[in-house]
Amino acid sequence: MKFLYSDTQDYVDPEYNFIEDRNVAGRKRYWDDMYAHEMMNPAPYDGLLVSMSAIRAADGVAKSKVRYTTAEEQRFLRDGARKFLRYGGPRFAKSMLMGDCGAFAYVEHEYPAFKPEEVVEFYDEAGFTHGVSPDHIIFDCDLSNPPSSVMPAATLKRYEITLQNAEKFLTLVEKEDFPFEPMGAVQGWSPQSMAASAKKLEKMGYRYLAIGGLVPLKVDAIHEVLKHLRSAIAPETNIHLLGFAKADHIHQFLDYGITSFDSTSPLIKAFKDQKSNYFLPKSGGGIDYYAAIRIPQSIENTRLVRGIKKGLFNPELLMKKEKIALATVRSLDAGTASGDAALHAVMDYHQFLLRGEVLDQATLEKELNKTELLVSRTIKDMPWKHCECDICRKVGVEVIIFRSSNRNKRRGFHNLHVYHEHVQKTLSKQK
């Protein structure tokens, strides 16, 4: 089972100055930066997934989250995905490079933003090893398996569009003998309808299926989907889980013969999770989670700046407490400050993040206590000292400090590494 990471242009300045919080002088975005697979050996994933909608603006889709400039798109197609992503050479020769249409970008529209002809051409030009047929997301998954006769017309339309696109897509691939492996996108409103879709795709000629619509589903629902799918298709037919948001539970799905899955969850948790920002392998197997130590930039953090503008905070006092928090945490790492001193300094600064929200005293104390419990565990255990990954060895305590993109993304890279090793260990136990 291969773990793929979805490209979101996540790269960092390898020479970033953490003490002064600035990029290296003359740094050029992308050209001087490094992806996770460049900074870490082994690479923290088995392949990359790239969404067409992240590169090319979809016609008529105002909310399309295009991450690439026009020049970057042109270079991506001219040079090929491997060269652009610096994911080529002997080291990554056998790694998957998978393309999909990025259906989330046009989920609110009646029809997919990209036609099969466009998608096939895009996959071919970029040099992907695998490409998913253009689908139309169905978010509803009714475990009672209602028949099509009671389903809304719009849902049935999305179901048929996905199948029609898959058939046309496969015809185009086979006609032109494109070098990438076609993957049929599975959508449906229930486990049974998704299984029926998978069976139809298999009959078309697909030998690799990409299961969509899983993002909002709970673990039990995903189990039901996969049970029905596997009972409907041949054991040798490969399965990919698109946007598998339940990455923490991957060990529960080993019996379904999953060939690959993609997830951004380990990196996203570094940024957005309230208490599980830093991954660490458990001695007995599995993953432990720690809260990052939040020391935001006093004159850049939105909440703090808002408090300054309202006259709630003195900017000089904020900057002073910020410096003390950073210095004390670094001293803790060096063994010259106690855990109690570090915790006090961090919480003394952290309180301002909450005071800016104009909380009543009772709520303020409750929130501060919750944060203190999380941070005290991180400070006590110092998990970054127990990790030998390339990120933690190089930047040390900076990886656990929640502050600026260069730190947070590095912590995300670390999480990808820990998660990738977790997947590999889980698979080895199965054997």
pLDDT in tens, 73-108: 999 999 999 999 999 999 999 999 999 999 988 888
pLDDT, residue 405, reads 93
pLDDT in tens, 203-239: 999 999 999 999 889 999 999 999 999 999 999 999 9
Question: Which of 100, 124, 135, 248 is labelled catalytic?
Answer: 100
pLDDT, residue 258, reads 96
pLDDT, residue 431, reads 63
pLDDT in tens, 282-292: 988 899 999 99
The domains found in the chain, sorted by start residue, are 46-263 (3.20.20.105), 287-416 (no CATH)
pLDDT (average), residues 340-365: 89
User: Contact at 8 Å (CB) between 293 and 401?
Assistant: yes
pLDDT (average), residues 24-38: 96
pTM of the entire predicted model: 0.95
Contacts of 332 (CB under 8 A, 6+ apart): 338, 339, 341, 342, 379, 382, 397
Whether 220 is a known active-site residue: answer no
Q: For residue 359, is pLDDT > 60?
A: yes
pLDDT, residue 354, reads 86
pLDDT, residue 246, reads 84
pLDDT (average), residues 322-349: 98
Handedness of CA 128, 132, 136, 138 (dihedral sign): negative
Give Cα separations from 237 to 12, 203, 230, 311 (angstroms).
Answer: 38, 11, 9, 63
pLDDT, residue 401, reads 98
Tokens representing residue 241 in the block: 């889980």
Contacts of 86 (CB under 8 A, 6+ apart): 35, 37, 38
pLDDT, residue 62, reads 59
pLDDT, residue 430, reads 73
What band does 429 get if pLDDT is binned at 50, 70 and 90?
confident
pLDDT in tens, 11-28: 999 999 999 999 999 999
Q: For residue 66, is pLDDT > 80?
A: no
pLDDT, residue 248, reads 82
Question: Which of 7, 46, 248, 262 is labelled catalytic?
Answer: 262
pLDDT (average), residues 190-202: 98
- Of 206, 275, 272, 217, nearest to 239 by C-alpha is 206
Q: For residue 358, is pLDDT > 80?
A: no
pLDDT (average), residues 267-290: 94
pLDDT, residue 312, reads 83
pLDDT in tens, 110-121: 999 999 999 999
Q: H/E/C letters for each residue in the chain?
A: CEEEEECCCCEECCCCECCCCECCCCCCCCCCCEEHHHHCCCCCCCEEEEEHHHHCCCCCCCCCCCCCCHHHHHHHHHHCHHHHCCCCCHHHCCCEEEEECCHHHHCCCCCCCCCHHHHHHHHHHHCCCEEECCCCCCCCCCCCCCCHHHCCHHHHHHHHHHHHHHHHHHHHHHHHCCCCEEEEEECCCCHHHHHHHHHHHHHHCCCEEEECCCCCCCHHHHHHHHHHHHHHCCCCCEEEECCCCCHHHHHHHHHHCCCEEECCHHHHHHHHCCCCCEEEECCCCCEEEECCEECCCCCCCHHHHHHHHCCCCCHHHHHHHHHHHHHHHHHHHHCCCCHHHHHHHHHHHHHHHHHCCCCCHHHHHHHHHHHHHHHHHHHHHCHHHHCCCHHHHHHHHHHHEECHHHHHHHHHHHHHHHHHHHHHHHHHHHC
pLDDT (average), residues 348-367: 86
Q: How far apart are CA 146 and CA 190, in angstroms?
A: 7
Mean pLDDT taken over the chain: 94
Q: How far apart are CA 48 and CA 56, in angstroms?
A: 18
pLDDT, residue 357, reads 74
Whether 262 is a known active-site residue: answer yes
What band does 49 get if pLDDT is binned at 50, 70 and 90?
very high
pLDDT in tens, 134-183: 999 998 899 999 999 999 999 999 999 999 999 999 999 999 999 999 99
Contacts of 362 (CB under 8 A, 6+ apart): none
User: Contact at 8 Å (CB) between 98 and 142?
Assistant: no
Q: For residue 372, is pLDDT > 80?
A: yes
pLDDT, residue 63, reads 55
pLDDT, residue 402, reads 97
